[in-house]
Amino acid sequence: MRSQAFRDEEKVKALAGSPLFQGLGPEDLAAVGRSTAGRSFRTGELLFLAGQEARGFFLILEGRVKLSRFGSDGREQVLHILGAGEPCGEVPVFEGGVYPATCTSLTPVRALYLPREAFLGLARQRPQLLLGMLAILSRRLRALVELVDDLALKEVAPRLARCLLEEAGGRDILELSISKANLAARLGTIPETLSRVLARLQREGLLEVEGRTVRLLDPAALRRLSGNDSP
Amino acid sequence: MRSQAFRDEEKVKALAGSPLFQGLGPEDLAAVGRSTAGRSFRTGELLFLAGQEARGFFLILEGRVKLSRFGSDGREQVLHILGAGEPCGEVPVFEGGVYPATCTSLTPVRALYLPREAFLGLARQRPQLLLGMLAILSRRLRALVELVDDLALKEVAPRLARCLLEEAGGRDILELSISKANLAARLGTIPETLSRVLARLQREGLLEVEGRTVRLLDPAALRRLSGNDSP
DNA sequence: CCCCTCCCTTGACCTGGGTCAAGGCGCCGG
DNA sequence: CCGGCGCCTTGACCCAGGTCAAGGGAGGGG
C-alpha cells in the first residue's frame, strides 16, 4: 500500500461522482476533499484486514475490490465485490471496532480514505448523507441474505446459474469480470468444483464456455435451475 | 395476526425503552406513537413474508422473533433472532421494495408497526435516529458476515461451540432459549445433526446436556474448537 | 390410566462436494 | 526454441452431513 496525494479538484470530482455524495454542494465536497487522503493500490494489494482496528473507510474511485473472509485452512469466501463510487469498510464507522472482513484489490485501484470523524462531522450537517449510507448498508444486507440463502439452502449449480444470469443482465453472452478462482470463492466453493459444474452445464447444453466468455444457450432452463421462480 | 389498540402512553413508554429512540423528547415520542399501530402475535405467527411488499417496519416490545429464509425443499435457515427494543423488517425502509426474509414469532409478541413515512419524517427532524439505525444495520451486517463465515468455512461443531459460548456469556451453564429445531436452523443444519454433534461433544467430555440445560464442562476446549483464537 | 402428539435421539445409508494428485495449455523470460 | 509458471481441468477418493426410518419419553387430553 502506498500513499499518493491527489489534487483537491480531482478529489471533489471523484466525490461528486459517487451516489453517496450526490446532492452535496461544491463547498461541502471541497471540505470532505480536504480531510481525505488519496491512495493507490496495485492488483492483489491489501486495503485492510478483518479484525483490524478501523479509523475510517475507503471510497473506491477506480477499479474493483473484494471483501472476503478466510477459514483456518486458508479457504476464502468472498462476501462482496465493490466498484467505483462505492464505500468500503464503512461498518465500523457507525458501530466502532474492527473491520468485519478483509479487503483486497482485484484490479489497480484508486481510492479516497475518509476518517470516521470527518464523515460523521459532515453528516451532522447533511443528514442526507446518512440516508444514502442507510440505503447502501441495506443493499449490502440484502446481498448477504442472498448469500446465506445460497450457502445454506442451495447447491453449487443454482448459485452459479443465478450469478451468471445476474452478470449477463438479460444478454445471452457475458465475459466473466473475475478469475474463475475468485468466482469459485464468491460462490462458496473451490475452483475444481466450479470447473466440474461448468463442464456439466455445458454437457447438458445450458451454456458454452470459452475461456472467460460464457454463452447462455438456455437462459430459461438456467433461470429454472437458479430457483428464481419469481418473474 | 390480529390488531390491537395499545394506549398511547404505553406506546410512548415502549418507544422510550428502545435504544433506537433513546434521546428523543417526549413530544417526539408521542408523535411517533400516534402514527404507529400496536400489534400482538401468538407463538409461531407470521409477521411478514420474504418477498412481501413493505410499507413499514416493526419494533418489538415484548417477546422474540426469528428472521429466516426457506429453501425450495422447505429447509429453514435462521438469519437473526430479535428481542425487545429491536426493529425488525427495517431494510426496505431505506431501499424500498420487499422484505428480504420471513419473520415469525418465537414467543407471544407485542410490537409496534411504524409506517415507513412516519419514521422517515421524524428522522428528517432528528437525524440522531438515522445514526441509531446505522448502528443497528451495522450490527446486523456483522452478524451476517459471521454467519456466512460459519456456513462457508466451518463445520457444525465449531458453529455450535461459538453459539453456546455466546449464549452462556462467560457463565459455564446455560438454558437454551430456543428449541433445538430452531437452534439447528440457526446453525444452518438439521435437528438430527445437531443431536449427533451434541452427543459427540458430551461423549468427549466438553459439555453436558439435560433437556434445554447445557453445562459447559470445558469452556477452553470449546473456545479452541470454535476457532475463536483472538482472546 | 392410557394413548396421542410433539420433540428429540439414534442408526443405516447416500451424496454433494472437498482433497489430493496429475496433467494440459497459454504466456513469458532466457 | 525451450523450460517454468499460472491457471484451469479432470480423475480418484473420502467424508461431513443430509435423508429416511424407527423408536423413546414427557406432557396433555380423554
Q: What share of residues in chain B are helix, strand, coil (percent, to 5)?
A: 45, 25, 30
> Is some CB atom of chain B closer than 8 A to the CB atom of A145?
yes
Contact B193, B183 (CB under 8 A): no
Residue A111: all three cell numbers together: 481510492
pLDDT in the model for residue A228: 67
pLDDT at B6 over 50: yes
pLDDT in the model for residue B13: 79
pLDDT in the model for residue A1: 40
pLDDT in the model for residue A89: 96
In a 13 Å sphere around the CA of B19, the CA atoms on its Cβ side amount to 11
How distant is the Cα of A212 from the closest Cα of chain B, in angstroms?
Answer: 25
Average pLDDT over residues A53-81: 93
pLDDT in the model for residue B205: 93
Closest CA to B63 of B106, B2, B126: B106
pLDDT at B119 over 70: yes
Q: For B62-110, how does the pLDDT look when each residue is reduced to its tens digit (9 = 90+)?
A: 999 999 999 988 899 999 999 999 999 999 999 989 999 999 999 899 9
Strand partners, B216: B207
Nearest to A69 among B75, B124, B145 (CB): B145
Q: Do A188 and B131 touch (CB under 8 A)?
A: no
Closest residue in B to A141 (Cα) is B141
**Which A residues between 133 and 192 have a beta carbon under 7 A from any strand D atom?**
179-181, 191-192
Q: For B22-54, how does the pLDDT look when each residue is reduced to its tens digit (9 = 90+)?
A: 888 888 888 888 888 999 998 889 999 999 999
Closest residue in A to B99 (Cα) is A142
- Among B residues 148-177, those touching chain A with beta carbons less than 8 Å apart: 148-149, 151-154
Nearest residue, CA→C1' of C19:
A192
pLDDT in the model for residue B228: 67
Confidence label for A5 from pLDDT (cuts 50, 70 and 90):
low
Q: What residues of chain A lie within 8 A of the CB of B141, using their CB?
A: 91, 100, 137, 140-141, 144
How distant is the Cα of B24 from the closest Cα of chain A, in angstroms?
Answer: 16
Largest CA distance in chain B: 59
Closest residue in A to B150 (Cα) is A71
Q: What residues of chain A lie within 8 A of the CB of B77, using their CB?
A: 148-149, 152-153
Q: pTM for the full model?
A: 0.93
pLDDT at B15 over 80: yes
> Is some CB atom of chain A closer than 8 A to the CB atom of B72?
yes
Q: For A73-126, how does the pLDDT look when each residue is reduced to its tens digit (9 = 90+)?
A: 889 999 999 999 999 999 999 998 999 999 999 989 999 999 999 999 999 988
pLDDT in the model for residue A104: 92
Q: What residues of chain A lie within 8 A of the CB of B134, using their CB?
A: 94-95, 130, 133-134, 137
What are phi and psi for residue B2, nearest 5 degrees? -130, 145
3-state secondary structure labels for all residues of chain A: CEECCCCHHHHHHHHHHCHHHCCCCHHHHHHHHHHCEEEEECCCCEEECCCCECCEEEEEEECCEEEEEECCCCCEEEEEEECCCCEECCHHHHHCCECCCEEEECCCEEEEEEEHHHHHHHHHHCCHHHHHHHHHHHHHHHHHHHHHHHHHHCCHHHHHHHHHHHHHCCCCEEECCCCHHHHHHHHCCCHHHHHHHHHHHHHCCCEEEECCEEEECCHHHHHHHHCCCCC
Which tops the pLDDT comparison, B137 or A74?
B137
Q: Do A95 and B144 touch (CB under 8 A)?
A: no
pLDDT at B133 over 90: yes
pLDDT at B55 over 70: yes
Average pLDDT over residues B204-212: 92
Confidence label for B230 from pLDDT (cuts 50, 70 and 90):
very low
Q: For A131-185, how does the pLDDT look when each residue is reduced to its tens digit (9 = 90+)?
A: 999 999 999 999 999 999 999 999 999 999 999 999 998 899 999 989 999 999 9
Mean pLDDT of chain B: 90
Q: Do A148 and B77 touch (CB under 8 A)?
A: yes
Question: CA–CA separation, A63 vs A111, rounded Å?
Answer: 9
